[in-house]
Structure 1
Amino acid sequence: MTFSVVARDPESGELGIAVSSCILAVGRAVPSARPGVGVVAVQARSRRGLGQSLLSDLADGASPADLVRAAAHAAEDVDRQIAVLDATGAVAADTGRGSFPVSGHLLGDAMSVQGNMLASAEVLPAMAQAFGAASGDLADRLLAALTAGQDAGGDLRGRQSAALLVVSGTPATDENDGVRFDLRVDDSGDPVAQLRMLRNLQRAYDERDYDTLALFAPEGARDLYAALAASRRGDRDAARAALEAMRTKPGWAAWLAAMAGDARLSAVSRLLD
């Protein structure tokens, strides 16, 4: 009923999972991750609490292979499909005999793809190949694999939800929770495409790509990002026009006054005079 990819990036050490399914809010059910510990996918008829249990065992020093072997012999987990990846890149997966056909998993270097109730046997090979061929950071490569799986047929029943979860390869701290991406599309006719859009939007926020945000941020904030973009490129007239447009909206004038000292808006106090 679901297809997913788990992987570790050898350069950054980041750990991640991307998943899609024809169920509501797959991001609530399948992916689990803990910074510095590992990533787990629990699919098919897996127990809801299995993911967190596997992560706790990883944190206590168990290997992915041992955890998958134990699950394969547990009566309560006979119908599950799981993949377990630790912070070193060791990975193991298993498809229980109760999983819906077409089903299976493929292991690679610090990577695994798995799925059940798939539209064709080509879904998993397409995902593995796309992941290996993709460039960019781990999130980009995970989404490339997920897209290839969808293009190869994906879930036999159709499309509804998708999720992307990427965490750091080192433990969380008080200053940094270690979560790099936690994006979900809970109900959509094309959830994988929607998930890619969300990833691109988060990239724009992270990289302060104000030109992109001026087009795709929520409508109420677009004038702000237009002003930031114009200020960055030195276009005072365009920045002033965007700020004046914001001033006409209820409640924004006071907020703009408070922004006068923000370094991102060069000479904003003069623009607002």
Structure 2
Amino acid sequence: MTFSIVARCNRTGMFGVAVSSSSPAVAARCAHARAGVGAVSSQNVTDPMLGTEALDLMASGMGAAGAIEELRSSRPYMEYRQVLAVDVAGGTAIHSGPRALGIWAEARDTDVACGGNLLADAGVPQAMVDAFLASSGHLADRLLIALRAALAAGGEAGPVRSAGLKIVDAVSWPVADLRVDWTEGCPIAELSGLWALYAPQLDAYVTRALNPSDAPSYGVPGDL
């Protein structure tokens, strides 16, 4: 009941995850990323611990393929899980257990891995990879392009209701962590609108955290 993309920007070193689902608050469970380490999506009968563990393994020096193999061999119930990972070198790996739900599929290339379950069409992940690789610009924009390509290729078997976008860069916290936890409309369109609102302010929020004396004004009523 989910499709997602994990990716690395080979120009900036940013990592990101974008995900959408018919379930509520999908990004709260599935999206994991750590600056200088990698990005992971843990989905399908989701175990969020797999995302944290995969990032810990990659932080210890293991590549995405090694981290996924370690999870596959050591964690219980992996036959139910789908886990996507990208590492600091742009290596990618995916585990899709045989008990993943409905039509499930995966696709990957250097710097990008996509996967989904309960899909309307098995070609959805490859459409996402192709769209990402053909795109340019900020990593967040490219991830959203991939989500829109998933919808165009059929998306989930039913309507999606939540979506999320997480981006990490040079600081220890996500520089963008945007979510549409439930909507009767299109969560990917609403998420794109949130990113359009947030993107011009992203650098200012980082500056305010690191050195408020250099930060721009807040642009809110009462700010002098």
Same fold judged by TM-score > 0.5? yes
Q: Where does residue 95 of structure 1 map in the other structure?
A: 96
Aligned residues: 209
1:6-54 CA deviation, whole Å, 9 max, x = no partner? 1111110101111000000001111111111111110112323211111
The answer to whether structure 1 residue 15 and structure 2 residue 15 are counterparts is yes
Amino acid at match of 2:71: A
Q: Paired residue for 1:193, among 182, 189, 198?
A: 189
SS in 2 for 1:179: coil
Deviation, 1:127, is 1.0
Deviation, 1:207, is 7.6
Q: Which runs of 5+ in 1 are unaligned?
A: 209-223, 229-251, 260-273
**Percent identity of paired positions between Structure 1 and Structure 2:** 35
Q: What is the root-mean-square deviation in Å for CA atoms of aligned residues?
A: 2.0
1:71-113 CA deviation, whole Å, 9 max, x = no partner? 3334432210001111221111111101013112111111111
Look at both structures and tell me which one has the larger radius of gyration over its CA atoms. Answer: 1
The answer to whether structure 1 residue 142 and structure 2 residue 139 are counterparts is no
TM-score by length of 1: 0.71
The answer to whether structure 1 residue 121 and structure 2 residue 122 are counterparts is yes
Q: Which runs of 5+ in 2 are unaligned?
A: 205-217
Q: Which has the higher contact order (CA 8 A, sep 6+)?
A: 2
Contact 1:47/1:77 (CA < 8 Å) preserved in 2? no
The alpha-carbon distance between structure 1 residues 167 and 158, as it changes in their structure 2 partners (threshold 3 A), is same
1:172-219 CA deviation, whole Å, 9 max, x = no partner? 3xxxx35221110000120000000011001233489xxxxxxxxxxx
- Structure 2 matches for 1:120-269, cutoff 5 A? 120-168=121-169, 170=170, 172=171, 177-188=172-183, 189-206=185-202, 255=222, 259=224
Amino acid at match of 2:98: R
Deviation, 1:161, is 0.3
Runs of 4+ in 1 over 4 A off after TM superposition: none
Distance in 1 between the 2:37 and 2:134 partners?
Answer: 26
Distance in 2 between the 1:207 and 1:18 partners?
Answer: 20
